[in-house]
Amino acid sequence: MTKRSAAAGLSDANLNAPIGVFDSGVGGLSVLREIHSQLPEEDLIYVADSGNAPYGERDAGFIEQRTETIARLLLNAGVKAIVVACNTATVVAIGKLRSWCPVPVVAIEPAIKPAAQTTKSGVIAVLATRQTLASPNVARLCAAYGNAVDIRLQACPRLVEQVEKAELESTKTRALLEGYLLPLLAAGADTFVLGCTHYPFLTGLIREITGSHAVIIDPATAVAKEVVRRLADNRVRQPPQRPVSIRFFSSADSTGASAVISALWGYSVTVEPLNQPALKCRP
């Protein structure tokens, strides 16, 4: 065991271990695809807690409890790192999770800093769940980067449900997005932060509504870079050239989840039920 990996509770045997990624539902697939793109040699386990989505309207205690339950399932399955691919779970539960979790935890929060540095109009919009926007994390980011910039916080209820149904271009989804985006455009917003991992799947529609001049910021690339850095720091990056396994689990009905996850992931995958025996069994 190297000195650095020992500090993180990892051993050289962890080289072959998968990375666990989870979200309240299917939104974290937008982060998973970036991790897979930057770390194509790593095994991945994705957990969609779709049976309990959306988290954005839940109370903090429930989200903390689900975060701990899923993290423990992933640890029992032997993961070498956990990625919380959910802004809502991050702002509510990340402190507690990091206090006990023995492997590196990478999380996600709205990209307010890069948006404030990008805007030309001086108005940025942060699209996220109510829980995320009401959090101290977002208050801290607004205080740090909101001096010279007008930051509009826009809760987007019901969008998560549309993505959970893979309704990425329906009339209803468009109407919801127009309701959220048109007032922001009228207020001069030129930079839009996707502060919920479900929203990158709506980028096509968002772009149609905002026009091509708008900047849309998805933090998934930055999160994947952080995963790369943390694995390198802990010396547990998998060497290349071997078959890779990506497994998908959902707390919702597996048949429905398979159809939705396949549609969003881009090819047909089998989704397994979220329970310890299934997770522990190697493919």
Contact with ligand DGL (CB under 6 A): which of 18, 27, 110, 219? 27
Stretch that binds ligand DGL, among 21-29, 165-173, 218-226, 245-253 (CB under 6 A): 21-29
Q: Considering the rule CB under 6 A, would residue 106 count as an interface residue with ligand DGL? A: no
Stretch that binds ligand DGL, among 20-28, 141-149, 175-183, 208-216 (CB under 6 A): 20-28
Residue placing its CB nearer to ligand DGL in the complex, 115 or 160: 160
Contact with ligand DGL (CB under 6 A): which of 25, 78, 200, 219? 25
Site for ligand DGL in 150-169 (CB under 6 A): 160
Q: Is 211 exposed, middle or buried (0-12, 13-18, 19+ CB in 10 A)?
A: exposed
Q: Considering the rule CB under 6 A, would residue 18 count as an interface residue with ligand DGL? A: no
Stretch that binds ligand DGL, among 17-25, 76-84, 241-249, 261-269 (CB under 6 A): 17-25
Q: Considering the rule CB under 6 A, would residue 92 count as an interface residue with ligand DGL? A: no
Phi, psi torsion values for 250, nearest 5 degrees: -145, 145
Contact indicator for 56, 257 with CB cutoff of 8 Å: no
Three-class HEC string of the chain: CCHHHHHCCCCHHHHHCCEEEEECCCCCHHHHHHHHHHCCCCCEEEEECHHHCCCCCCCHHHHHHHHHHHHHHHHHCCCCEEEECCHHHHHHHHHHHHHHCCCCEECCCCCHHHHHHHCCCCEEEEEECHHHHCCHHHHHHHHHHCCCCEEEEEECCCHHHHHHCCCCCCHHHHHHHHHHHHHHHHCCCCEEEECCCCHHHHHHHHHHHHCCCCEEECCHHHHHHHHHHHHHHCCCCCCCCCCCCEEEEECCCHHHHHHHHHHHHCCCCCEEECCHHHHHCCC
Least Å distance, CB 86 to ligand DGL, is 4
Contact with ligand DGL (CB under 6 A): which of 86, 106, 220, 279? 86
CA 249/CA 48 separation, integer angstroms: 6
Catalytic residues: 86, 196
Contact with ligand DGL (CB under 6 A): which of 10, 14, 17, 23? 23
Least Å distance, CB 130 to ligand DGL, is 8
Q: How many residues sit close enough to ligand DGL to count as binding (CB under 6 A)?
A: 17
CA 249/CA 261 separation, integer angstroms: 10
Contact with ligand DGL (CB under 6 A): which of 196, 224, 236, 264? 196
Contact with ligand DGL (CB under 6 A): which of 54, 110, 200, 219? 54
Stretch that binds ligand DGL, among 12-20, 47-55, 137-145, 270-278 (CB under 6 A): 47-55
Q: Considering the rule CB under 6 A, would residue 47 count as an interface residue with ligand DGL? A: no
Site for ligand DGL in 206-235 (CB under 6 A): none
**Which residues sit at the interface with ligand DGL, rule CB under 6 A?**
23-25, 27, 53-56, 86-88, 129, 132, 160, 196-198
